[in-house]
Amino acid sequence: MRSVLTADQRDLRDEIRSFARERIEPRAADLDRREEYPAAILAELGERRFAGLTLPEEYGGRGEGLVELAVVIEELSAATMTVASALALHLGVATAIERLGTERQREEYLPAMARFETVGALGLSEENAGSEKLAMETTASRDSDEGSSADPRGADDSRDGDDWVLNGHKQWVTNFLDADVVLTYAKTGPDADAPHNVSAFLVPTDEFEVERVWETLGARSVKSPRVSLDGVRVSADALVGRVGEAYARRGEGAIGVNVPARGVGIARAALEDTVAHATDREQFGRRIGDFQGIRWKIGEMARRVDTARLLTLRAADRADRGMDVGRELSMAKIQATEAAVANANDAMQIHGGIGYTTERDVERYLRDARLLTIAGGPNELHRNALADAVLPDRAAE
């Protein structure tokens, strides 16, 4: 693995860092306080084609890899996690279209998605299908199957004129309120076929009913509501990939590296603010950064940032080289998201009372970071996946 970024990657990092410092940081606290979607910032990122960072250039993207994605997401998240989340979830939908969709879908969606003119949202989780996604209750059936017990598995995916009818709900659909289309996962086959019984459809947002928009601890400027589908009809063209294969192939593109990258960004921002504060603030006639207990804590914060970043870049680099990344991605996810929580928490302690107020950013970092050990698969599931990858398979013994 390359241990340092290439010159091009450093240029990209500098470009997005300047953008984040000039265009996002000054507005971050306000967006959070007003719970306002960062539409203007995302539109600017779209103009610069960051919304299509990893999409091929022929579809209007920048054609970059996952290392570049990790670099960009860290910088955005250091300014505010919500911009990074909104962009990453959107890019995840575009990546699914690019990898699994038809040429017609690529041409229709990707150039506008690369500019953030068409906005995507991911509809995978449900009320009873959080960690256990295959417990989803949303169904899609062929219009011709409605009222019959026909099994859609045998259907010819390319038949014209056959609509699909979707029923159910999706929960935690990030971006939904400002999105145009939801990549909606639905059961199209019996549970006996799991995981090959889930298909994905591009469903326009105006086909859903919004049931609930939660108030959340953090990530307040980008809402993730619960939405429902009641007999929504979409054409055969809305199907992304082959019938029954969407869940099994959802990991392709390994865009999941964006979650640890968001953690690295928050952990780093918390460290930088703490260094500035500990250097500036004096008590008992000395900088608080001169007290040994504080010095060790700050050293530990820096160690967390570097280990989180290295693990994240390793996972991204392996994915870029077409290698399996299950083990590396889980390690990075656990390390980086827990680093973000720990650093934001330490930052608040070292800031003292002012850190507990909205005059400083550290309370926002802590609220935002808390999401990351839950979303993108709770860390407990990543610990299970990691143990599976490390321990010998019992069945094979």
Ligand X SMILES: Cc1cc2nc3c(=O)[nH]c(=O)nc-3n(C[C@H](O)[C@H](O)[C@H](O)COP(=O)(O)OP(=O)(O)OC[C@H]3O[C@@H](n4cnc5c(N)ncnc54)[C@H](O)[C@@H]3O)c2cc1C
Q: How far is the CB of 15 from ligand X (least distance, A)?
A: 27
Number of neighbours of residue 4 by Cβ within 10 angstroms: 8
Q: How far is the CB of 182 from ligand X (least distance, A)?
A: 9
Q: How far is the CB of 300 from ligand X (least distance, A)?
A: 25
Q: How far is the CB of 149 from ligand X (least distance, A)?
A: 29
SS3 151: coil
- Kindly state the helix (H) or strand (E) to which residue 347 belongs, with its residue range: helix 326-351
Residues in the interface with ligand X (CB under 6 A) total: 20
User: Per-residue string for binding with ligand X, 222-241, x by CB under 6 A?
Assistant: --x-----------------
Does 173 bind ligand X (CB under 6 A)? Our answer is yes
Site stretch for ligand X (CB under 6 A), options 18-26, 37-45, 70-78, 375-383: 375-383
Rg of the chain over all Cα atoms, to the nearest angstrom: 22
Q: How far is the CB of 204 from ligand X (least distance, A)?
A: 17
Does 381 bind ligand X (CB under 6 A)? Our answer is yes
348: which 2 tokens? 């608040």
Indicate the length of the chain as a whole number: 397
Scan residues 128-147 and list those touching ligand X (CB under 6 A): 130-131
Does 174 bind ligand X (CB under 6 A)? Our answer is yes
Sign of CA dihedral 217, 218, 219, 222: positive
User: Per-residue string for binding with ligand X, 327-366, x by CB under 6 A?
Assistant: ----------------------------------------
Task: Give the β-pairing of 181-187 and 198-204.
Answer: antiparallel
Does 371 bind ligand X (CB under 6 A)? Our answer is yes
Does 29 bind ligand X (CB under 6 A)? Our answer is no
Are 110 and 61 in contact by the 8 Å Cβ rule? The answer is yes
SS3 241: coil
Distance of CA 160 to the CA centre of its chain: 34
Contacts within 8 Å (CB) and 24+ apart, 210-216? 210/176, 210/177, 211/169, 213/177, 216/371
Position of minimal CB gap to ligand X: 130
Interface residue list for ligand X (CB under 6 A): 89, 122, 124-125, 130-131, 172-174, 216, 219, 224, 371, 374-375, 377-378, 380-381, 384
